[in-house]
Amino acid sequence: MRRLIVTTLFFLAIAASAMAVQPDEILKDPVLEGRARALSAGLRCLVCQNQSIDDSEAPLARDLRVLIRERLIAGDSDDEVVSFIVGRYGEFVLLKPRLEMNTIVLWGAPFAVLLLAVFFLLARRRAVSAAGRESPLSGEEKAALDRLSRTGE
């Protein structure tokens, strides 16, 4: 039963993403359509934010898909189309942001967090091992312990 549910959900997910691009949007030229699909797969839906415009059924995603196809028909290169969309909507529209000065924090943050976590774990390990080590008693400490144990009898 569980396998049936998982399989059904899988096929529904595939069908939902396949229905995002409407038949009236598809270009007759398969090369241009392939370019349009590749471009729209790399652009974020500004409504859904976790989907590409290729997968989204939001009206804005449809408008962006149509705009991409219009620009391709007009003869724009892939880079020109992406630059046009980014110029209108900002870097956020890219699912994979470019490595530039204004996105260096975005790209570097995961590595910084990883380094901080490793530093914290090493410091914590060192503190725990230092606390667990027993140092031998000095002569004075042994004598004091003997006096205390004799007075307690």
Pairwise pLDDT comparison (92 vs 98), residue with the higher score? 92
HSE on the CB side for 85, CA within 13 Å? Answer: 32
Tell whether the model's pLDDT for residue 87 goes beyond 50.
Answer: yes
**Contacts (Cβ under 8 Å, ≥6 apart) of 76:** 84
Average pLDDT for 90-104: 80
Tokens read off for 81:
């189309």
The answer to whether the beta carbons of residues 64 and 81 sit under 8 Å apart is: no
Say which CATH architecture domain 2-98 belongs to.
Orthogonal Bundle (1.10)
| Percent of the chain whose predicted confidence (pLDDT) is above 70 | 82
pLDDT of 120 reads 93
Tell whether the model's pLDDT for residue 12 goes beyond 90.
Answer: no
Domain residue spans of the chain: 2-98, 103-151
Average pLDDT of every residue of the chain: 81
Band (pLDDT 50/70/90 cuts) for residue 10 is low
pLDDT in tens, 56-72: 888 888 889 899 999 99
Among the ranges given (14-28, 31-45, 86-100, 110-124), the one the predictor scored with the smallest mean pLDDT:
14-28
Cα gap 90→82, rounded to integer Å: 10
Band (pLDDT 50/70/90 cuts) for residue 9 is low
pLDDT in tens, 27-36: 777 888 888 8
Tell whether the model's pLDDT for residue 24 goes beyond 50.
Answer: yes
The answer to whether the beta carbons of residues 48 and 59 sit under 8 Å apart is: no
pLDDT of 122 reads 92
Tell whether the model's pLDDT for residue 150 goes beyond 70.
Answer: yes
pLDDT of 17 reads 47
